A and B are shown apart, each in its own frame.
Chain A
Amino acid sequence: METAFTVLALGMLVAAAAAMSLRNLIHCALCLVGAFGGAAGLFLTLGAEFVAFAQVLVYVGAISILIVFALLLTSTRAVETAQPWVPPRGLGPTVAGLVTGLLLAAVGLSPGLPEKTAATSAVSVQELGRELLTRQAPALLAVGLLLTAALIGAVVVALREPPPTSGKEEPPA
């Protein structure tokens, strides 16, 4: 299990780094798929089966595909040439590095982290369902409403507006 975790974690981090730094946007999206898949594998090694499958179903099957669609819909030129990967002007990477360092320091310096793994008793799907429908029922309903609202909202926002009859701006080239 330890080797599996290490291999998956390394693969996921490399894929994530590639997804955030490659020039070709579609390659970025495909690496993102790899990173999500690696995360699902990590969930599996941590004993969260259902979450791992949900991760694959939602992230690999839906979100990545949405991102790919959006990339192809929006960037006729960008797919071929991408933007020149300008070395960012310092601030972004610095902030990210600082936050990562802070998190790593927090992990390293915490005294109270449990040393050993609890006994392996992965929660069954039945228990998860019971939890969702009893203690978390209000949250579940709220998530249902949110997803419905997001569906309708996304359709309304992305709907092609009827062309205005007058005063149409020339789109910048």
Chain B
Amino acid sequence: MFAVETLNQGPGSPGQLWMQWVPLSWQPAAAALLGAATIVAVFAGLFALTTWLERKGLARIQNRPGPNRVGPAGLLQPAADGLKMLLKEDIRPWAADPWVHTLAPLLKVVPVFCALAVIPFGRHLVALHLDAGLVFFLAMGAITEVALFMAGWGSRNKYSLLGAMRAIAQLISYEVPLALAALTAVLAAGSLSLPAIVDSQAGWYPGGLARWHVFTPWGLAGLVLFFIGTTAKANRAPFDLPEGESEIIAGHLVEYSGFKYALFFLGEYLLLFGYSAVGITLFLGGWRAPFAWLDWIPSPAWFALKLLACIAWFIWLRGTVPRLRADQLMHFAWKFLLPLGLLANAAALLWQATAGWDFAGASLLRWGLAGGLVLVPYQVLGRMLLGAAAGRPRHYRFAD
């Protein structure tokens, strides 16, 4: 359905033309196959593009040119890297558990591709329309934890196992605030289906601003929480402790080489794309335009634009923030994000309950109440987390 409808948006509906060559009984399977192939192709391409973007972006932040030899501005670097990965020897340590070691990269990539199927990439553009799409997505995201463990334990390497245990502890801890943040949008939309959540953000505020969830106090809090959780789920800096080159070499990836290593890389980036896409769907209006006068731009273009903006943000974050310590990571999740997630839900409920107010200054009062419910604990919890350091003036040892 997915690809056929995409193609139909072009002139002369080529999707139908293509489909009429397929026998009627095979059409559902053919349409599903076409959708799956589209998702695999588009996201594998985006993965290649992102590796280039990331290397260029990090290079820009660190004042160096970055890849610039293969192709114009180094654009063909991903292809060269992919070729190199394919040609490298596939090394499996002698002591490693053969099955577990081999299955781990597959188990990392396949569920993430499945998870991408429920995301609406444009108007009517969803490969798999599920009533409980969000739960499906989170469930598929949870399988990667098992893959990480298999990679870490199956390699029979102390660093691998340490990295895997760190990774699992991190993933489990950050799944809680992630799910809580997603719940705020579910509360507002009254549905777990991602297309329905996009529909709940239809319409415009007076002045032409879109009615996205991010333009409400709880939505803003939810967005921030969700993207912090995404950073941690995708093992990206500043939450890349599981890899931690300086401490445990590369964690669960130590013993992987060649194509299997590339699969892990692919899985990590796909997870990042998937969670960013869900974050966009939940809080940033999905494929909807931000202003009424920009509504004529096709919906997939908006989605791609938002996704690229998210990726740029993640690259920026990686180039800017240093890695956390393991204890800081856990304190941050359980003592800061978790209470804030609960409070964001409370604020969303308050927002819903006060939706009927229509006296003078009602919206101002609603903003104050719901925003205060999130902002005041944010300050208090942040100070508690920082401890004595919160009171001292900041001192930058190397920058002064």
Q: Give the interface of A toward B (CB within 8 A).
A: 26-27, 30, 33, 49-50, 53-54, 56-57, 60-62, 64-65, 68-69, 72, 124-126
Nearest chain A CB to B346 CB, angstrom units: 15
> With A61-B142, A68-B149, A69-B168 given, can you name 18 additional A-B contacts, CB distance below 8 Å?
A53-B135, A53-B136, A54-B135, A54-B139, A56-B139, A56-B142, A57-B138, A60-B142, A60-B143, A61-B145, A61-B146, A65-B146, A65-B172, A68-B168, A72-B161, A124-B131, A125-B191, A125-B193
In the assembled complex, the Cα of A54 lies from the Cα of B142 at a distance in Å of 11
**Distance in Å: Cβ of B211 to nearest Cβ of chain A:** 22
A30's partner among B150, B172, B191 (CB-CB below 8 A) is B150
Chain B, Cβ-Cβ closest to A50: B132
Instruction: State whether A60 touches B146 (Cβ < 8 A).
Output: yes
Task: State whether A126 touches B143 (Cβ < 8 A).
Answer: no
- Chain B CB within 10 A, most for which of A50, A53, A60, A125: A53
Which residues of chain B have C-beta atoms less than 8 A from A62's C-beta? 142, 172
Query: Judging by beta carbons under 8 Å apart, are B143 and A30 in contact?
Result: no
Q: Kindly state whether residue B153 has any CB partner on chain A within 8 Å.
A: yes
- Tell me, in angstroms, the Cα distance from A56 to B143 when the chains sit together: 8
Chain B residues within an 8 Å CB radius of A64: 146
User: Residue of B at shortest CB range from A55?
Assistant: B139
- B350 contacts partner chain A, Cβ-Cβ < 8 Å: no
Chain B residue nearest in CB terms to A122: B131
Beta-carbon contact of B192 and A30 below 8 Å: no
- Tell me whether B240 is interfacial, beta carbon within 8 Å: no
State the interface size on chain B (CB cutoff 8 A).
24
The 10 closest A-B pairs by CB, nearest first: A61-B142, A56-B139, A57-B139, A53-B135, A53-B139, A125-B131, A50-B132, A125-B132, A53-B136, A125-B192
**Cβ-Cβ contact count across A and B, 8 Å cutoff:** 59
Name B residues whose Cβ lies closer than 8 Å to a Cβ of A.
Answer: 100, 130-132, 135-136, 138-140, 142-143, 145-146, 149-150, 153, 161, 165, 168, 172, 175, 191-193
Q: Nearest Cβ distance between residue B183 and chain A, in whole angstroms?
A: 13
Q: Does B153 contact A26, Cβ atoms closer than 8 Å? A: yes
Nearest-CB distance from B99 to chain A (Å)? 9
How near does chain A come to B180, taking the closest CB pair, in angstroms? 14
Contacts of A30 in B (CB 8 A): 100, 146, 150
| Chain A residues positioned under 8 Å from B143 (CB to CB) | 56, 60-61
Q: Which residue of B lies closest to A37 (CB)?
A: B143
Cβ distance B229 to chain A, nearest Cβ, rounded Å: 14
Task: Return 11 A-B CB contacts under 8 Å, by A number.
Answer: A26-B153, A27-B100, A50-B132, A50-B135, A53-B132, A56-B142, A60-B143, A72-B165, A124-B131, A125-B131, A126-B131
- Chain B residues with CB below 8 A from A27, complex form: 100
